[in-house]
């Protein structure tokens, strides 16, 4: 099963080499492997001063139009602190401090602000909401 590749990932701060990845490293791996999109280690998805995107190939999506592969950004006090990949049916793939990669419902992060971003080259698929 394709998902098993990701469940072997062990969260590693600033990790960029499989299977030792942080949350952005997971997004990079997912985009390369599943979507055929190469992302830069740090500059493809950047948030400056809260919500202002700078040099990003991602744009914000309004609910409920989420699709497989969208990036979920989690904010605290107006600053991004975590990202995950949207899988569909309200589920995300992510990795967190001292944990292996896992699939969870987005609502498990209900006490923080979330925004969804889509890559400009994300293949068009049936809406997953």
User: What are the residues facing 82 on neighbouring strands?
Assistant: 74
pLDDT, residue 96, reads 82
Enter the pTM of the model: 0.84
Per the omega criterion (within 30 degrees of 0), is the bond before 42 cis? Answer: no
Residue 125 pLDDT > 70, yes or no?
A: no
pLDDT (0 to 100) of residue 64: 75
Mind listing the pLDDT tens digit for each residue in 59-97? 888 877 889 999 999 888 888 889 999 999 989 999 987
pLDDT (0 to 100) of residue 34: 95
Distance CA 103, CA 87 (A): 9
Indicate whether 110 pLDDT > 80: no
DSSP bridge pairs for 16: 21
| Mean pLDDT score across all residues of the chain | 83
Say how far apart CA 117 and CA 43 lie, in whole Å.
15
Query: 126 burial class (0-12, 13-18, 19+ CB within 10 angstroms)?
Result: exposed
- pLDDT for residue 49: 40
pLDDT score at 33: 95
Q: What is the largest CA-CA distance in the chain?
A: 40
pLDDT for residue 53: 45
pLDDT at 129 over 70: no
Q: What is the pLDDT of residues 9-27, one digit of tens each?
A: 999 998 999 999 999 999 9
């Amino acid at each position: 099963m394709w998902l098993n590749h990701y469940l072997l990932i062990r969260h590693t701060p600033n990790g960029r080499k499989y299977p030792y990845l942080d949350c952005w490293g997971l997004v990079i791996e997912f985009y390369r492997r599943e979507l055929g999109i190469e992302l830069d280690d740090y500059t493809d998805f950047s948030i400056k001063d809260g919500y202002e995107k700078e040099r990003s190939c991602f744009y914000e999506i309004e609910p409920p139009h989420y699709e497989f592969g969208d990036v979920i950004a989690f904010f605290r006090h107006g600053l991004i602190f975590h990202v995950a990949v949207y899988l569909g049916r309200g589920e995300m793939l992510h990795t967190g401090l001292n944990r292996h990669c896992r699939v969870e419902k987005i609502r498990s992060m209900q006490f923080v602000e979330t925004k969804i971003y889509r890559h400009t080259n994300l293949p068009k698929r049936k809406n997953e909401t």
